[in-house]
Amino acid sequence: MARSGPTPGAPCDLRLLNATTADGRTLAVDIQAGRVTALRDPGETREALPRAARTLDLAGALVLPGLSDGHVHLDKCMLGLGWRPHRARGSVRAIIEDEKAFRRTSRLPLAEQGAEALLERMLRGGTTSLRTHVDIDDVTRLDHLAQILDLRARWADRMQIQIVAFPQSGILRCPPVAEYLDEAMRMGADLVGGLDPVGIDGDRDGPLDAVFALAERHDRAVDIHLHDAGETGLDEIDAILARTAAAGLGGRVTISHAFALADADDLRLGRIAERLSCAGIAILSSVPGGRRCPPIPRLRELGVAIVFGTDNVRDCWNPSSVTSMIDRAQLAAYRFDLRSDADLAALLEPITAVPARVAGLGPGTLSPGVRADLVAFDAACAPQIIVERQQPVLVVAQGTVAVDRRGPAGASSRPPAP
C-alpha cells in the first residue's frame, strides 16, 4: 500500500524503483513538483502505478534524505583561486587580521573566488542543504552578504541555504558591526551570529546582549562561534543558556565548536549537557583535530543535539578541502574509535535528521510531503557508506536528478546479500 502525500494517485515527475531504506525496506519513491508524494511497497505492480514521466531503477541502492552541512563559510572559500600557502598563525585574532588583509586586496566576486565551486563539490557529495556564515565587518560591510543572498537565489532549486550574519571581527571591537547586523536581518539573513565574547571583544556580556537583542527584535535564531576554552568558554556557555531561556529562544540556538566542552570533567559535562538538552541548544562540530573537539558520543548519550559541518574549506583559516558530509562522519568514527554498526549508523543523524530539525528544514527523513532531496549509495547498509567514505551514485535535489553515477545501465555493482 502506498504511503502518500498531498496528491495520492496523481501522475508523478520521477519514480525511483527498488530503493532500499536505511531500515532495510524496499520501496518505490514517487516525486512530483519537487516533493516526495508517495512511498510504494514492492507489492504494487507496475501496471497499477500512476504514470511517471521518468523512472529510474536504483537496483537496491540505499537511499537517504539529502545530507546537510551545518556550518560552512561560503564567503571565505578560495577554491576558485590558485594554490595559496597557509600562513595564518597564532591566536584567533591574528588569523582574523590576516584574513582581513587578504580581503582588502581581493577583487573577485565571491562566486568566482570559490563559493560556486564549493557548492558544486558539496552537491556532488550529496549535500542538499547547508548553513553558511557570512562575515559582517568594517571591510566587507554588507557586500558579502548581498553576494551570498544572490548566490542563494540562483541555487534555490539545488540547495537549501541558511545564512548567518557573522560578526567575525567582534561587535564591541568593531563599532560599525552592530548597525550592520541590524541591517543584515532586514536584508534577509536568517540567523544572528556571534563570536567569542571574551576572546574577541574582551567582555562576556556586552556582545551576547547585542546578539540576543537582535534575535528578539527580528525574531531570528542564533548561532554563536565559541573557540574560547576552559573556564572562560564554559562560563560563556552558561551565559548563553541563561539568555536563551530569558529570550524564549529554546530550540533556536546553536553553539558552534564549543571547544570548552572538551575541558569539562564528566560531572560538569553532564550538568551542562542536561541544560543544553532542556534548552534545545544544538552543538555544531567540524570534528577538528587536536585536543579541542567536544566529546561528541558522550554528548549524544546525554541527549544533546549534535550537528556536523565542514567549517573552513580552502581559506585563510584552513587549507583543507574536505567537503563531503560522509567524510565528516568518518572523521568522527575515526576520532572516537566507533566501530559497531549501531554507533556508525548513528553518525548519519548529525548530517541528516538533526540539522534538518535544528534549521527548521523538515524532519530530515524519507517521508511523503517532504522536499525531494535524496541521495543513493551503492551500499548494503548505512555503516558501509561511512567506513568506505562512499560518494553517492545518485543525488536528487528538489525532485531533479543533479548527479547520476549509476553507470550506463543504472545497475548496482553491489553483490547480492548472502
Q: How far apart are CA 73 and CA 75, in angstroms?
A: 5
> Which element (helix H / strand E) includes 273?
helix 266-279
pLDDT given for residue 391 in this prediction: 98
Dihedral angle at the C-alpha atoms of 252, 257, 260, 261, nearest 10 degrees?
A: 70
Reading the block at residue 241, the C-alpha cell is 543558556
Indicate the average pLDDT of the chain. 93
What's the grid cell of residue 362? 523538515
pLDDT at 291: 81
Worst-scoring range by mean pLDDT, 353-367, 375-389, 390-404?
353-367
- pLDDT-derived band of residue 5, with 50, 70 and 90 as boundaries? very low
Same fold, 3-66+364-404 and 67-359: no
Angstrom distance (rounded) from CA 362 to CA 280? 16
413 or 29, higher pLDDT: 29
- Does 349 or 44 have the greater pLDDT score? 349
The pLDDT-based confidence of 417 (bands split at 50, 70, 90) is very low
- Grade residue 91 by pLDDT with cuts at 50, 70 and 90: confident
Residue 369 pLDDT level (bands cut at 50, 70, 90): very high
pLDDT band at 4 (very low <50, low <70, confident <90, very high): very low
Q: How far apart are the first and last CA of the chain?
A: 28
Beta strands in 239-331 (DSSP E): 253-256, 282-285, 306-308
Handedness of CA 186, 190, 196, 198 (dihedral sign): positive
CATH of 3-66+364-404, one of 2.60.40.1840, 3.40.50.2300, 2.30.40.10, 3.30.420.40: 2.30.40.10
3-state secondary structure the chain: CCEECCCCCCCECEEEEEEECCCCCEEEEEEECCEEEEEECCCCCHHHCCCECCEEECCCCEEEECEEEEEECCCCCCCCCCCCCCCCCCCHHHHHHHHHHHHHHCCCCHHHHHHHHHHHHHHHCCEEEEEEEEECCCCCCCHHHHHHHHHHHHCCCCCEEEEEEECCCCCCCCCCHHHHHHHHHHHCCCEEEEECHHHHHCCCHHHHHHHHHHHHHHCCEEEEECCCCHHHHHHHHHHHHHHHHHHCCCCCEEEECCHHHHHCCHHHHHHHHHHHHHHCCEEEECCCCCCCCCCHHHHHHCCCCEEECCECCCCCCCCCCCCCHHHHHHHHHHHCCCCCHHHHHHCCHHHCHHHHHHHCCCCCCCCCCCECCEEEECCCCHHHHHHCCCCCCEEEECCEEEEECCCCCCCCCCCCCC
Give residue-wise pLDDT tens across range 114-165: 999 999 999 999 999 999 999 999 999 999 999 999 999 999 999 999 999 9
> 291 - beta bridge partners?
none
Contact 411, 145 (CB under 8 A): no
Q: Kindly tell me if the per-residue pLDDT of 416 is higher than 60.
A: no
pLDDT at residue 9 greater than cutoff 90: no
Domain ranges for the chain: 3-66+364-404, 67-359
Q: Which CATH superfamily is domain 67-359 in?
A: Metal-dependent hydrolases (3.20.20.140)
Kindly indicate the confidence band of residue 263, based on its pLDDT and cuts at 50, 70 and 90.
very high
CA angle centred on 238, ends 232 and 239, rounded to 5°: 90
pLDDT value, residue 11:
87
Cβ-contact 191, 360 below 8 angstroms: no
